[in-house]
Amino acid sequence: MELNKPNGLKQWTKATREWVRVLAAHARVFMFPGDNFKCPCCGRSFSRFLYSPYLTARCPFCLSIERYRLLCKFLVEEMHFGQFPIKFLDIAPIWCFQIFCRQFKNVEYVSVDIRSPLSDHKMDIQSLQFDDESFDAALCYHVLEHVPDDRKAIKEIFRVLKRGGWALIQVPVEAPATKELAEMSPYEIKHVLKWDDHLRSYGPDFFDRLEEAGFEWSESDFVTTLPREDVERFGLDLKERITICRKPG
């Protein structure tokens, strides 16, 4: 499938934004020299994380949060990421993870988003403009709760994966059962949904939607297998679990 290439002005704007982002990152990490903590996304060491009331500890350089730091460590240690040639689809990219992926020459990285300037292609996940079986692996982290038809999006991820390919798909599972925003009471919107840009709250039945699309899935408690000093040093969350979805071969 032929995709539109960005024009010169867009490429220049994107490069300028990247330059400003890198400059700001260097300024932040300069303020916290040291080796107490290390970020698995960008590989930088520093004396402390940055803290925010909503998202706990962020890396001073790439601004990664716990779930992305665990993800990067998991990909390297459990999925052998970067050790073999792989075509990888990142849905709704964030900068810390792009820094991580760019370290690997074996990873052909492609990102899509409906609006983010970080993405390679402007694209709706409910209708991916890629041929069937185009990718070896994909990431869709905390995206589906923002998508009107999440079932359609999951089917699209399944479609563009090669047979035997895998995807890491994660949503916040915080309710007894999945419920759409339109069906929720004001109390549920305030206390269960919490975020005003989420279109539904997910319950454990979310995993049924993965199976409906054809995925076989399993959950990894990788973080609990790590030494406690690593959990501390890399700023990880012991409650975090990673869902691995596989397209049957």
Q: Which residues of the chain form contacts with Zn ion (CB under 5 A)?
A: 39, 41-42, 59, 61-62, 64
Query: CB-based contacts of 236: which residues, under 8 Å, 6+ apart?
Result: 66, 69, 70, 73, 223, 226, 230
Residue nearer to Zn ion on the CB measure, 64 or 98: 64
SS3 assignment, position 184: coil
Decide whether 91 or 96 has the Cβ nearer to Zn ion: 96
Q: Which token pair is 120?
A: 């390679």
In the numeric block, which tokens belong to residue 105?
A: 């020459």
Residue 58, token pair as written in the block: 């962020």
The smaller minimum CB distance to Zn ion, of residues 61 and 166, is found at: 61
Buried b (16+ CB within 10 A) or exposed e, 207-216: bebbeebebe
Nearer to Zn ion, 97 or 206 (CB): 97
Residue 99 Cβ vs Zn ion, minimum distance, rounded to whole Å: 7
For the CB of residue 62, give the shortest distance to Zn ion in the complex, in Å.
3
Query: Whole-angstrom Cα distance, residue 164 to residue 180?
Result: 32
Tokens of 184: 């929720």
Q: Which is nearer to Zn ion, 29 or 213 (CB)?
A: 29
Report the nearest approach of Zn ion to the CB of residue 22 (Å).
Answer: 12
For the bound state, the minimum distance from the C-beta of residue 102 to Zn ion, rounded and expressed in Å, comes to 13
CB of 90 to Zn ion, least distance (A): 17
Pick 96 or 147: Cβ nearer Zn ion: 96
Nearer to Zn ion, 57 or 86 (CB): 57
CB of 64 to Zn ion, least distance (A): 5
Quote the strand ranges of the chain, DSSP E: 37-38, 45-46, 50-52, 56-58, 86-91, 107-113, 121-122, 135-141, 161-170, 179-180, 200-201, 216-220, 242-246
Among 222, 182, 174, CA closest to 202: 174
Shortest Å, Cβ 16 to Zn ion: 22
By CB atoms closer than 10 A (0-12, 13-18, 19+), residue 192 is middle
